[in-house]
Amino acid sequence: MRSNVALAVGFAATAASAVLWHGPGGAGERFATRSDRDVRQMLHYFEMTQVEGHVQRGPIARRILYKGPADDFQRTELVRLGEDLPGIGEARWNRPRSNLTFPLPLLGEALAMALGSFLAGITIAYILSFGRNGDR
């Protein structure tokens, strides 16, 4: 019974730390700010001053949304170049909300990684405890 409580507390603490790191800790906003800066620099480099590109917010995700005037070639290349930026999973031109698919928010990624690591650690500890208990 005590081990179940300890596991539940550890699980909750892991989830809470991931949420705190992403939200109030500012990791999500730092990612979005850095990525927005990278997109602006890329657009400035290619002299696409009438095109805007921003990281999706609400929730923050690894997606760049472009808007502004561009021909088909420019649209295709900006999507390709945007997807090559560090940490970006998808780039696309802004379309009505009904056409958008929703990528996993960064908060969801942080929770999945933290809880996955927690479960991997528990599994490894459980496996290693078999060797110790069998030696007695």
Mean per-residue pLDDT for 112-130?
83
Closest C-alpha to 55, from 94, 95, 97, 21: 94
Q: Are 10 and 98 in contact (CB under 8 A)?
A: no
Residue 18 to residue 83: CA distance in whole angstroms: 26
Domain assignment present for residue 66? The answer is yes
Domain span including residue 55 = 14-70
Domain assignment present for residue 30? The answer is yes
Number of domains within the chain: 1
The pLDDT of residue 3 is above 60: yes
Domain assignment present for residue 21? The answer is yes
Closest C-alpha to 96, from 74, 59, 55, 65: 65
pTM score, two decimals?
0.68
Number of H helices, E strands in the chain: 4, 3
Domain assignment present for residue 50? The answer is yes
- The whole-number pLDDT of residue 80 equals 92
Tokens of 67: 């808007």
The pLDDT of residue 131 is above 80: no
Q: How confident is the model at residue 102 (pLDDT cuts 50, 70, 90)?
A: low
